[in-house]
Amino acid sequence: MLRSKDLYVAESGKGVSQFVADFTAIVKANDFVVNNYESMDMKKTFRSHGGQVPDDFDLHMIQVCKPTKADKSLTMNPERAILMPKFVMVFSKDGKTQVRYLSYSDADITELVLDDPKFVESVGQTFVKIRSMIDEAR
């Protein structure tokens, strides 16, 4: 994995809540879903389980999925599941909204999911689409 290629780093002029709302709408408009909408706000999630975080802690871990693509993909090969959860991290740092998204190179995908060349192209297209949805929401 190469940090400079596989880690997508973006900044938004919007606040965290507004970015999350806009990104969620864009995700839905592109036939993806946010699987963890109720639990993506990590301050609420941590606190609901007894964790202690400061009031200004605002990390959102957004799990993006396209069920109409994932159903076929995982039915074909459940080994693919290791690369299926796609999380977009949104948080504030130094007064600015930061976005992080980790994808994988073709070589990494090939190494993790053996003997499945079609998956490399398919999941690669999803990585590109998620990055474009992030850019649209910024």
Angle at alpha carbon of residue 22, lines to 20 and 27, rounded to 5°: 90
Confidence band of 117 (pLDDT split at 50, 70, 90): confident
In this prediction the pTM is 0.91
CATH 3.30.930.10 assigned to domain 3-137? The reply is no
What whole-number distance in Å separates Cα of residue 105 and Cα of residue 121? 10
> According to the model, what pLDDT value does residue 1 have?
64
Which range has the worst mean pLDDT, 8-17, 20-29, 102-111?
A: 102-111
> How many C-beta atoms lie closer than 10 Å to residue 52's C-beta?
7
Instruction: Identify the DSSP state of 83.
Output: G
Q: What is the torsion angle, in degrees rounded to the nearest 10, for the CA atoms of residue 79, residue 83, residue 87 and residue 93?
A: 140
45 has a pLDDT exceeding 80: yes
